Amino acid sequence: MRRAGSHVSGSPPLRVEQRDALPSAPPDAQSRAIARCTALYRAREPELLRGDDPEAVHQARVALRQITAVLGLVKEKPASPARRRLRTEIRWLARALGGARDWEVFRFETLAGLPPDLLDPTRRRALDQAAEVRINQARRQLRRVLLSSRYRNLQALLDEWGARPAETGADSPVCTSDRDAPSAGEEAEHALARRRHQLLRLGRRLSQADDERLHDVRLAAKHLRYSMDFVARTHEQARSQTTDRALKRLQEALGRFNDIVVAQARLRDMAAVPMTSAHAPIRSRQLEDHLERARCELREVVLGRWKQWRKAHRGEGLRKPRSPPPGGR
pLDDT at 213: 94
What are the structural domain ranges in the chain? 23-162, 187-319
Report the chain's mean pLDDT, rounded to a whole number: 81
| Environment class of 164 (CB within 10 Å of its CB; exposed 0-12, middle 13-18, buried 19+) | buried
Q: Find, among 302, 82, 93, 308, the residue nearest to 213 by Cα.
A: 302
Q: Residue 55 above 90 pLDDT?
A: yes
Is the predicted pLDDT of residue 328 greater than 60, yes or no? Answer: no
From 120-129, 293-302, 314-323, the region with the lowest mean pLDDT? 314-323
d(CA 64, CA 154): 12
Burial of 146 (C-beta count, 10 Å sphere; 0-12/13-18/19+): middle
Angle between helices 211-235 and 54-73 (to 10 degrees): 70
Which of 76-90, 97-111, 124-138, 173-187 has the lowest average pLDDT? 173-187
- Predicted TM-score (pTM) of the model is 0.77
Calculate the CA 210 to chain-centre distance.
20
Q: What is the CATH number that goes with domain 23-162?
A: 1.40.20.10
Count CB atoms within 10 A of the CB of residue 304.
12
pLDDT for position 100? 94
pLDDT band at 243 (very low <50, low <70, confident <90, very high): confident
Give the C-alpha distances (Å, rounded to integers) separating 183 from 175, 188, 223, 313. 12, 8, 23, 23
